[in-house]
Amino acid sequence: NRRVLALSVCDRQEQPACIKNVHGDGVCQTILIYWLLKETGSLSNVLLSSTKLNSALVESVARGEHLGMQECKYQFQWERWNCPRDSTLSTQKRQFTRETAFLQSIVSAGVTHVLTKNCSRGEFEGCFCRKRSGISYTQKNWKWDGCDDHLQFGEEISKKYLDSSAQDIEAEGISHNNNAGRLAVRSTMRQVCKCHGVSGSCTTKTCWMAVSDFRKVGNFIKKQYRKAIRICGGGGCLDFNIANVRQIHPRAVELKDRKPGKKNLLYMMPSPNYCQRNATAGIEGTIGRECSR
């Protein structure tokens, strides 16, 4: 059956999706979820097929997607494109506009954020927050201690679930935007401190790193959206690699002197007219609502 097949594949370590060593032993069964995702191509099918297995992990991915979509709606509520209900990754992928890039990034960030928090709360077997060594800084009257949010776990699961293994320019662009979302969660992490002392005097503090409120992550990605880089134009596409960016067609992109960094959002097509309804493209238009731009 599927469970036996997936676990046997994982035990033989023939699948890169088996992340057994990310946060300790005992989670090799998560390979089944990735296998089902690959076979069905649908999160809803996975939810139906694996409810008796690692449901907490799958449900966290679903909650992360929902969190990303809700933040998308908030960030664009006063704009011509307001992240309508039909703005799914599957429909937007056909267009790959600046808005698509934001959607890819915010969903990736949402999945990473939820998985990280749930891991740190111990909702997954064998997955917990990352214990600090407790190095003391006496002059500052505080020390690193407590338990950092396990961001690496959230990043790894998000990458396995969302990123494509294809080598074409579109797949690379999607993976780049997904990674930009994960980096947004990492870049906005905050230091949290707890006071210790008589009568709440805060003589010393214990500090650790935690993911920020997701609104802060959304604001970070929205700034990247404003300065997104187009990687395709009339002359062709930008042949990019994160480690070695090179432009093969000087007229291909509108930003000749800019090379995309890891946090930049990338897109391929200019945005359509969002004022007019286009059901095929999932554009509802602006009739009946007020826009700021």
In a domain, 173, yes or no: yes
> Which pLDDT band holds residue 109 (cuts at 50, 70, 90)?
very high
Q: Are residues 189 and 231 in the same domain?
A: yes
The residue with greater pLDDT, 34 or 27, is 34
Q: Are residues 38 and 59 in the same domain?
A: no
Q: Are residues 75 and 174 in the same domain?
A: yes
What domain range includes position 22? 1-53
The residue with greater pLDDT, 68 or 197, is 68
The residue with greater pLDDT, 227 or 278, is 227
- CB atoms < 10 A from the CB of 101, how many? 29
What is the rounded distance in angstroms from the CA atom of residue 128 to the CA atom of residue 152?
11
What is the rounded distance in angstroms from the CA atom of residue 205 to the CA atom of residue 248?
53
**How confident is the model at residue 98, as a pLDDT?**
92
Question: Considering the chain, what is the average pLDDT of its residues?
Answer: 71
Residue 227 — φ and ψ, nearest 5°?
A: -120, 30
258 pLDDT more than 60: no
Torsion, CA 173, CA 175, CA 178, CA 180, rounded to 10: -70
Q: Are residues 254 and 122 in the same domain?
A: yes
Q: Are residues 46 and 87 in the same domain?
A: no
How many structural domains compose the chain? Answer: 2
- Give the global pTM: 0.72
In a domain, 287, yes or no: no
> Which pLDDT band holds residue 70 (cuts at 50, 70, 90)?
very high
- Chain mean position to CA 292: 28
What average pLDDT does the segment 122-132 reach?
A: 68
Q: Are residues 61 and 49 in the same domain?
A: no
In a domain, 153, yes or no: yes
Q: How far, in Å, are 30, 130, 188 from residue 224 at the CA level? A: 32, 29, 13
In a domain, 285, yes or no: no
In a domain, 26, yes or no: yes
- CB atoms < 10 A from the CB of 112, how many? 30
The residue with greater pLDDT, 264 or 25, is 264
The residue with greater pLDDT, 50 or 258, is 258
Number of H helices, E strands in the chain: 9, 10
In a domain, 182, yes or no: yes
In a domain, 288, yes or no: no
Taking alpha carbons only, the member of 110, 96, 94, 109 closest to residue 183 is 109
